[in-house]
Amino acid sequence: MAEIKFEEALKKLEKIVDDLEKGDMSLDEALKKYQEGIELSRICSQRLDNAKKKIDVLVKNKKGEFELKPIEKESEEK
């Protein structure tokens, strides 16, 4: 769970809310989903606060293979 990405967590959370709104499950199941949902909601908020961006440039090396190289500092500064 720790490495789940924001959009994945959000998608899961949406799914859980959908499931719960359909309401077609046992109380145990609902409770489990609810707890999972609360955890996902916490993760979402956390990810929103610690978003990490990554900017790469796609280049081809001498062998003709793709390589990702971080973009030069100049555009990433500030």
List 62, 63, 73, 78, residue binding another protein (CB under 8 A): 78
Cβ-in-10-Å burial (0-12, 13-18, 19+) of 41 comes to middle
Say how far apart CA 37 and CA 77 lie, in whole Å. 37
String of contacts with another protein for each residue 46-75, x by CB under 8 A:
-xx--xxxxxxxxxx-----x-x--x---x
Handedness of CA 29, 34, 37, 38 (dihedral sign): negative
Does 17 interact with another protein (rule: CB under 8 A)?
yes
d(CA 68, CA 16): 36
Residues making contact with another protein (CB under 8 A): 5-7, 10, 13-14, 16-17, 20-21, 23, 25, 27, 30-31, 33-34, 37-38, 41, 44-45, 47-48, 51-60, 66, 68, 71, 75-76, 78
